[in-house]
Structure 1
């Protein structure tokens, strides 16, 4: 019995601890108890300025027998979680002349080295290197000549010592935005203060950072029109708090990344930014919604304001109206772009804003209720769909509310997100009153002609057709630029085959010139797991042969041939792609080359249908990659009879990373035969692109 009481007591303590730590929602913490932490008072042998001078252009490592010691005062604190595995120090608690960055592989450093502590650092065995152009102290990275690794947590106590007797109040150094230039890089790591500071109107009324996402918020003062960056972690305890909307004092750690000067907040209580009017003329807090003097309208009322509006027509809302509606679809997966759909009991409507990643803003999270001040906005008829936006038709804006004006019209209700409940309809029941709603249509399937296709053709926005069991159809429209996966495991529509069964579809309903269209926000919105209307179970074409080049290098399945030009060959790489390798050929400018990558022979004997599918990525201008097939490879590309295949290829030469699916390339000409696939790369004296190929598959049955 005594044993069980002890266990219960332990569980109670753990649960109580979790409850206490789970209730911290601001940055007010008790002072850490330092009684049991190691401390020492050492004698410095060099200044932080001397230390900084040790680094030139390559890593500098102090000998293991070095007796050098530097001292400084901790300017940062990681108790709110906004600063991660870094201790910032400066040479004096007030009016510093040098700051510095110590990279440590430990968290909660404030418990041992709280802000204001005088610290001594034994330099023996430590190294100086850079990250983002900023010199920092760490340990040697054997793979780099310029950067260093974090000091291991178990090593930190033997290198960084807190003074047993001295702890000072850090007085921030006053700096203006105009002074944040290379000539003042010695202050990087110091606590600084910017007066007359205000967050840019483009980020007003948004939170410090979305959950789990690190973002940059722009800030300015009256010294220059140039904005600076405040970098906020989505893991900070204050991440969900709303940015201060006024003018005043900003205090943070001074830093930079390459050429971008940025600051890190220690605690939001360091910020005193409540003064109005602001430099930009905003006279009062713009983030607090008040319905005083306003009349509430429903979505149906708003649409009625534009009754009879011709396509492409605009009408301004002049009344003192507001709308309260729930966000039912946003841009989290990129299938919607620069807009959200909102809905109330009377209907739904699209709200256009000239800003990406709206879903990261508290106001536009799925299920949130948002207030919209309507006066001054416009209703536009876009090919039959009424939408809210502006009258700004300047290039690339497309009648969207300007980013810097969003705060004027859209307000957080400060109410918890609610479940988005779809309106259940059949295709036959749909009317214009449903446009803008989040709907559910039961028992749909893709038409036979779409089976085996991907959700989009490459990066294009593509129509696929869904039907019910009575033969009624509706369009599913999908952007090829969407990503239904994660950053670690992307799932591009152009490389994702549609489901072949029957089931329920959840989507927002739009209309284009009288044709109803569905837009999903994630792949789970389409759940087609049941047998098709005719009772059959669709089976995707089996993969006969595939190679994702995952292990790096080419197996004997592939032949690389250099036909013309300097001796260069296709190879594999995982650069920028984590552990995922791909085939690649990077041409050299001024080289006139022809290089082939040829697959092994794959048998299509007994097959009645066969397709080829792969993905490509291109960078830099140059000739398009050519894709061929043959049934009689001679061992020499020049003497082989090739059939060119009409594959879809990446065309964005300006950037890596936008992998494009080839689509399902028909191989019916080779049914019953053995087929090889080849990729032909060519470059000229004036153009040499980089071409990458991955996810190679031949399917058939």
Structure 2
């Protein structure tokens, strides 16, 4: 017989496991599938208590692998956990996980089993007794949650992988006994402490709880996206005494259902990720949360929109309320607005606001919430109903916006997330195509501000060609012009998915075409905000008939090899043992860059050069150099030079300074800024050398980083 610590300590439990359970309460409540024809088995062997399995994993240690079964024809010495399935993945909210507990009622422990299989409810329905063969399985953790799986050797330390689908039946056996009725263990949110971690994986019931105000009038989850909602219990001093996270999958069959807005009973699987206690819903019918008043004082369901009690207003009428004043104006009438969402924050170029539009105009609506596009009310093309009473309008730098007050009613801005349910109501209609208003630059008026605009036949000005849409992570202005020379500003956030510069990111298109964008205004200057790259369709020849093509790269170095090699010369003129290096301080093995820092236990005076090899521009009619830079800490700006006759001595070489765009945000790393295409026409027909000169003083020493170096020409 195999040894498993002291086998004697399990003799009594092993004997108990030989008895076959022949009668459990039949449960038809959950409409589980007919399991006729599925294999079942009642196993003999050594039953290992849940607590002992969990104890095999040592926090911060390696995953523990139970000994393999060396006598497959002898069940009596196999190791088993015996429990009851507490979960069901029938609705799709629980994914590739089987949760079990050690009793149908009043469990003392629960457990999590990670499997690479779906529709587990068809073979292991909720309430069924299962035998989990431990031989060959591993116990480890994911996000501090101890669970069973397999060890492949590719996991991070202490983690386990999912049990492959073809092996699930080898390790998990359903008993031939009828499935029983899992009676949820009654707990409070306040019980969710380390003292009760043994219940992870159990089905629990929590009473007198409610979803917090931020979740009201929203769905469980957006399509295809997993989100967290919060439930709370107790109420004192304007907040819940205790809260917990409810984790909802956008693939669940109930994902598009509205979250219950009352208080009552919540039933779900108890779990944890790192330090956050989590709950998973098996099915929405398990929630009985329809009672009012709520803990927060709400007396009735807030999500029904009754137009009969409201006077409809148009966007133009709302804007008129702020005419002639720069102060905020409160809307006091029982008014409503129905308008279409024409621009949202799906790509991150808009932040915490959307634009809505009706036949009379468009307006910006400010909300203190990110990822508004995931909310069914603010999907592109949807009509949203807005109750206007108690909201505010204000002209902000010339643009009339809709919002609320904050900071003790001293500032105008965003509507708080917890207040959004009071004002925004899903129209429950399908999204309509967003039709832009077509204008030329010279035709734009203040009445167009807030609308989605289409401007035909525009192009980026020559000075923007070769640049990316943004410099770093901040908002950057680029200029569009029509063929008559009229111009308009295009604003792009570096936080947009297409904005922040990374090597190989989007370079502005050099052709001519149409732009689709929300129109704003700032102190009399019209500005455009696109919401996706497809809104810039510039593939036609430019206004002068030319076809712009980016200059081909004839030499490049991203420093990814981790060293400069023979292509670069490092010169240290001033300073002790500090010089340009190729480093990777971010932990990404492929993201090396050139780096110079003049601080070593204090600021030190330095002069250090990084000099490229000579690159031939013979036969070229156009040439440019480009790179990205990142700076942190105050100090001298990096200087960039070019020469066609490097003597080998930086002091005797005739250097020409180049006018380049550099990062100016000294507050942090990571906001790489593109230099743009820096003209090298003075070196056509010659061999050009580029140099970066770093200097620091005893009072200031910046850190400079250079990457994605390219010399281009044709």
TM-score with structure 1 length normalisation?
0.85
- Cα separation, partners in 2 of 1:666 and 1:531, compared to 1, 3 Å: closer
Q: Is the 8 A contact 2:437 2:452 kept in 1?
A: yes
1:146 lines up with 2:147 in the alignment: no
Residue 593 of structure 2 aligns to a residue in which SS? Answer: strand
1:264 lines up with 2:280 in the alignment: yes
> Who is 1:200 aligned against?
212
- Cα separation, partners in 2 of 1:621 and 1:306, compared to 1, 3 Å: closer
Distance in 2 (alpha carbons) for counterparts of 1:665 and 1:141: 51
> Who is 2:467 aligned against?
453
- Cα separation, partners in 2 of 1:165 and 1:297, compared to 1, 3 Å: same
1:515 lines up with 2:507 in the alignment: no
Q: Is the 8 A contact 2:570 2:579 kept in 1?
A: no
> Who is 1:23 aligned against?
none
Structural mapping, 1:116-135, within 5 Å:
116-135=127-146
The structure with the largest alpha-carbon Rg is: 2
Superposition deviation, residue 459 in structure 1 = 2.2
Structural mapping, 1:424-443, within 5 Å:
424-443=438-457
Distance in 1 (alpha carbons) for counterparts of 2:299 and 2:451: 37
Distance in 2 (alpha carbons) for counterparts of 1:72 and 1:650: 61
Superposition deviation, residue 322 in structure 1 = 0.2
Distance in 2 (alpha carbons) for counterparts of 1:404 and 1:109: 37
Match of 2:535 among 505, 521, 525: 525
- The runs of 5 or more residues in structure 2 that have no matched partner are 1-28, 71-77
Distance in 2 (alpha carbons) for counterparts of 1:63 and 1:77: 30
Higher mean C-alpha displacement, 126-135 vs 466-475: 466-475
Match of 1:353 among 367, 372, 397: 367
TM-score with structure 2 length normalisation?
0.84
> Who is 2:248 aligned against?
232
Distance in 2 (alpha carbons) for counterparts of 1:678 and 1:265: 61
1:109 lines up with 2:127 in the alignment: no
Higher mean C-alpha displacement, 587-596 vs 508-517: 587-596
1:388 lines up with 2:402 in the alignment: yes
Superposition deviation, residue 48 in structure 1 = 0.4
> Who is 1:36 aligned against?
37
- Cα separation, partners in 2 of 1:203 and 1:642, compared to 1, 3 Å: farther
Superposition deviation, residue 141 in structure 1 = 3.7
Structural mapping, 1:346-425, within 5 Å:
346-392=360-406, 399-425=413-439
Higher mean C-alpha displacement, 536-545 vs 257-266: 536-545
Superposition deviation, residue 574 in structure 1 = 8.7
Distance in 2 (alpha carbons) for counterparts of 1:549 and 1:343: 49
Residue 292 of structure 1 aligns to a residue in which SS? Answer: helix
Q: Is the 8 A contact 2:611 2:690 kept in 1?
A: yes
Superposition deviation, residue 684 in structure 1 = 12
- Cα separation, partners in 2 of 1:33 and 1:416, compared to 1, 3 Å: same
> Who is 1:49 aligned against?
51
Match of 1:95 among 106, 112, 123: 106
Superposition deviation, residue 302 in structure 1 = 0.9
- Cα separation, partners in 2 of 1:89 and 1:640, compared to 1, 3 Å: farther
Q: Is the 8 A contact 2:491 2:528 kept in 1?
A: yes
Distance in 2 (alpha carbons) for counterparts of 1:493 and 1:585: 16
- Cα separation, partners in 2 of 1:559 and 1:70, compared to 1, 3 Å: farther
- Cα separation, partners in 2 of 1:372 and 1:549, compared to 1, 3 Å: same
Superposition deviation, residue 557 in structure 1 = 6.4
- Cα separation, partners in 2 of 1:585 and 1:473, compared to 1, 3 Å: closer
Distance in 1 (alpha carbons) for counterparts of 2:409 and 2:621: 50
Higher mean C-alpha displacement, 220-229 vs 255-264: 220-229
Structural mapping, 1:437-586, within 5 Å:
437-484=451-498, 495-548=505-558, 558-559=567-568, 565=577, 570-571=582-583, 575=587, 581-583=591-593
> Who is 2:188 aligned against?
176
- Cα separation, partners in 2 of 1:573 and 1:513, compared to 1, 3 Å: closer
Superposition deviation, residue 185 in structure 1 = 1.2
- Cα separation, partners in 2 of 1:245 and 1:654, compared to 1, 3 Å: farther
Q: Is the 8 A contact 2:581 2:594 kept in 1?
A: no
> Who is 1:24 aligned against?
none
1:276 lines up with 2:292 in the alignment: yes
- Cα separation, partners in 2 of 1:406 and 1:640, compared to 1, 3 Å: farther
Q: Is the 8 A contact 1:455 1:496 kept in 2?
A: yes
Higher mean C-alpha displacement, 527-536 vs 687-696: 687-696
Distance in 2 (alpha carbons) for counterparts of 1:249 and 1:123: 36
- Cα separation, partners in 2 of 1:638 and 1:295, compared to 1, 3 Å: same
Q: CA RMSD in A?
A: 3.6
Residue 299 of structure 2 aligns to a residue in which SS? Answer: coil
> Who is 1:19 aligned against?
none
> Who is 1:7 aligned against?
none
Residue 406 of structure 2 aligns to a residue in which SS? Answer: coil
> Who is 2:24 aligned against?
none
Residue 507 of structure 2 aligns to a residue in which SS? Answer: coil
Q: Is the 8 A contact 1:586 1:688 kept in 2?
A: no
Match of 2:232 among 199, 220, 230: 220
> Who is 1:14 aligned against?
none
> Who is 2:324 aligned against?
308
- Cα separation, partners in 2 of 1:391 and 1:674, compared to 1, 3 Å: same
1:604 lines up with 2:620 in the alignment: no
Superimposed CA distance per residue, residues 260-292 of structure 1 (whole angstroms, 9 cap, x where no aligned partner): 111111111111111111111111111111113
- Cα separation, partners in 2 of 1:30 and 1:603, compared to 1, 3 Å: farther
Q: Is the 8 A contact 1:438 1:508 kept in 2?
A: yes
Q: Is the 8 A contact 2:595 2:706 kept in 1?
A: no
Residue 222 of structure 1 aligns to a residue in which SS? Answer: strand
1:69 lines up with 2:80 in the alignment: yes
- Cα separation, partners in 2 of 1:211 and 1:596, compared to 1, 3 Å: farther
Superimposed CA distance per residue, residues 327-353 of structure 1 (whole angstroms, 9 cap, x where no aligned partner): 000011111111000001111111011
Superposition deviation, residue 630 in structure 1 = 5.5
Q: Is the 8 A contact 2:470 2:501 kept in 1?
A: no
Match of 2:259 among 243, 259, 271: 243
Q: Is the 8 A contact 1:370 1:410 kept in 2?
A: yes
